[in-house]
Structure 1
Amino acid sequence: MNSDLIYPLEAKALEIGYRGKSRKKRLTPPLNFALPPGSLSALVGINGSGKSTLLRTLSGMHTALTGEVLLKGTPIRDMPPADRARNLSVVLTEPIASKNLSVYELVVLGRHPYTNWIGQLSAEDRSRVAYALEQMELDEIRQQPCHTLSDGQLQRALIARALSQDTALMLLDEPTTHLDLYHKVKILKLLKEVTRMAGKTILFSTHEIDLAIQLCDHILILSEDVSQFGSPCNLIESGGFDTLFPIDTIHFDRTHGMFKVNK
């Protein structure tokens, strides 16, 4: 980790989980990782490993048990909401408030941190919205109501809303859920292009580990006992994926970099 580099997102001794009346439930060991600028990173783990909780903790929506989350070197707990909205955009799995909005109107909502009290768009706002629509290949359906969109189109519209917010960091919770293989790859390749062309840093949770290995710069593997962060190649070499699932059912083929079912 380069000590001179200011990372868009850094976690230091971060423990995530929940506090009860008499005890706390820890989901992971202390996490230490940093996402470099312009990188695409995946968050993987079995169901219940804490992926969504980690994303909510990193975004400031959920309180960490211990440790610290830094946005551009500043603890997120010390960052006013307006500043946080200019540094971090989030796409969660909850449905949008109103699917009667058009694609354009939904993407415009991403400019809320920058508009005046009546929501008037400046030339800069319109430019950012247009860029987001173009990047997510939504220009042709910009006036289409969101309730008429396919799952893949709606997911791209939600990502475009976050992209129009123009933050250095984007957090996405399972952006490829309910999509077929073609549209899963399409979404992830679009995200990869955003990191390359716009220099955004993106962290997304996913069950598509084979795709993440092929497309991501870094992967964070969550588990209750040991969590690992690194490049896909390094994680493969270190055996990071070997015990992610019960080995009597699924094993990781290091030679081909993919999971295989034990028949």
Structure 2
Amino acid sequence: MNESVLSTRNLITGYQDKGVPPKVVGKYGELHLRRGEFNVLIGVNGVGKSTLLKTLSGEIAPLEGEVSINNKILNALNNTQRSLLISFVFSNTNIVGKLTAFETVLMGRYPYVNWWGKLKQDDHEIALSALKDVGADHLKDRYINTLSDGERQKVMIARAIAQNTDVIFLDEPSAHLDLINRIEIFQLLKSIARKKQKAILLSTHEIEMSLQVADNLWILYGNEVKIGSPSAIVSSDFINQTFSSPSIAFNAKSGVFNFCAPESLFSFKISFSEEVQHYKGAIDPIVYLEWECKKLISEGAYQDENPQFSICLTLLGDEGALVWEVKFDGRTYTYDLSKCNLFSELLKLYQAE
């Protein structure tokens, strides 16, 4: 098992104001972050993710218990000492001043400045190497405020790498990014954890992506935490128990969330004929069928072995056109796949019954 870098003992997080009883946010007991592991922190809004990150980073003190990094009690250290152990990347960091990407990354080296307050040549080399690690060295002379959100986040991650801490925390670093950049950031962080043996904990709402990439999931619920591998968490149905609602449900086999209709409509069974496999058109008919099935379910239809609607995707004669053959109430209806909305046609038949 990898070496534990961060650990907690009897940890209770929350806030304490003078003259007011403490507000408890979470009771987490014993937690561990280990070298080389990419951990993802998830939970519904308001459950305490940011409070936990701030407590683990030493920004706020625990209500009870303690946080240790490399056997050093975190709250016994000053800010400079903590900055040698922990780096933090936020979702949207505003850099004040006209700094280049390289100068921004170089800020990660300031905990190491000498007595004269000057950076050495080694610091410059470390900063450039960190930019290369995230694939952003070509941006080094660009001003940080001219970069895209995705480019800026790579630079901020490079700054955390340059800071050379054993632990890296990230609070929703992909919140403002498009899909491709979110995927790149997740893959980048996992690579950093592996290659540089960092202990990384990232807070996010990207549940489906986390299931594919994370080594461990930390799921906050109530005021507790459940920790485990994605395989263990999903197979225990904990994702569904924690995040499902009347309008959405988690499918443990596919690893995705499905929309749930507010009421049930009609039953159906959907299939395709053997001839469909010989279709030469531009679409994949089997994939098309799968997505039509998802659409029907999202609208309130449900699958049944003795359905009201029997639907078959097939080819029409020598023309080779894809059509839906729908059997309902003793009759058969044929619809050109390219010209109809299947759910709308089924709904018309169902409502006219």
Summarize the alignment of residues 56-205 of structure 1 with structure 2, pairs less than 5 Å apart: 56-93=54-91, 95-205=93-203
CA RMSD of aligned residues (A): 1.8
Which AA in structure 2 matches 1:193? S
Give the SS at the match of 1:120: coil
Paired position in structure 1 for 2:51: 53
Shift of 1:118: 4.3
Summarize the alignment of residues 217-236 of structure 1 with structure 2, pairs less than 5 Å apart: 217-236=215-234
The answer on whether the counterparts of 2:47 and 2:223 sit within 8 Å (CA) in structure 1 is: no
Paired position in structure 1 for 2:214: 216
* Structure 1 CA distance for aligned equivalents of residues 116 and 104 of structure 2: 16
Provide TM-score, normalisation by structure 1.
0.92
Question: Which of 10, 30, 49 does residue 32 from structure 1 map onto?
Answer: 30
* Structure 1 CA distance for aligned equivalents of residues 217 and 50 of structure 2: 15
Which is higher, the Rg of structure 1 or of structure 2? 2
Summarize the alignment of residues 247-258 of structure 1 with structure 2, pairs less than 5 Å apart: 247-258=245-256
The answer on whether the counterparts of 2:190 and 2:213 sit within 8 Å (CA) in structure 1 is: yes
Per mean C-alpha deviation after superposition, the further-off stretch among 246-255 and 108-117 is 246-255
| Paired residue total | 260
Shift of 1:136: 1.3
Per mean C-alpha deviation after superposition, the further-off stretch among 19-28 and 42-51 is 19-28
Shift of 1:67: 1.7
- Stretches (4+) displaced over 6 A: none
Stretches of structure 1 lacking an aligned partner (at least 5 in a row) = none
* Structure 2 CA distance for aligned equivalents of residues 234 and 56 of structure 1: 27
* Structure 2 CA distance for aligned equivalents of residues 93 and 64 of structure 1: 23
* Structure 2 CA distance for aligned equivalents of residues 77 and 226 of structure 1: 22
> 1:48-86 deviations in whole A, cap 9, x for unaligned?
111111111111001111121111122211234333211
Change in Cα spacing, 1:109 to 1:245, as seen in structure 2 (3 Å) is same
The answer on whether the counterparts of 1:133 and 1:142 sit within 8 Å (CA) in structure 2 is: yes
Give the SS at the match of 2:245: coil
* Structure 1 CA distance for aligned equivalents of residues 144 and 240 of structure 2: 41
* Structure 1 CA distance for aligned equivalents of residues 201 and 151 of structure 2: 20
Provide TM-score, normalisation by structure 2.
0.70
The answer on whether the counterparts of 2:99 and 2:143 sit within 8 Å (CA) in structure 1 is: yes
Change in Cα spacing, 1:114 to 1:226, as seen in structure 2 (3 Å) is closer
The answer on whether the counterparts of 1:37 and 1:200 sit within 8 Å (CA) in structure 2 is: yes
Per mean C-alpha deviation after superposition, the further-off stretch among 92-101 and 68-77 is 92-101
Paired position in structure 1 for 2:302: none
Change in Cα spacing, 1:99 to 1:253, as seen in structure 2 (3 Å) is farther
Which AA in structure 2 matches 1:262? C
The answer on whether the counterparts of 2:87 and 2:165 sit within 8 Å (CA) in structure 1 is: yes
* Structure 2 CA distance for aligned equivalents of residues 238 and 159 of structure 1: 33
Change in Cα spacing, 1:246 to 1:214, as seen in structure 2 (3 Å) is closer
* Structure 1 CA distance for aligned equivalents of residues 39 and 206 of structure 2: 13
Stretches of structure 2 lacking an aligned partner (at least 5 in a row) = 262-353
Shift of 1:94: 5.4
Question: Which of 10, 14, 19 does residue 17 from structure 1 map onto?
Answer: 14
Higher relative contact order (Cα pairs below 8 Å, separated by 6+ residues) = 1
Shift of 1:99: 5.0
Change in Cα spacing, 1:17 to 1:225, as seen in structure 2 (3 Å) is closer
Give the SS at the match of 1:244: helix
* Structure 2 CA distance for aligned equivalents of residues 48 and 208 of structure 1: 16
Give the SS at the match of 1:256: coil
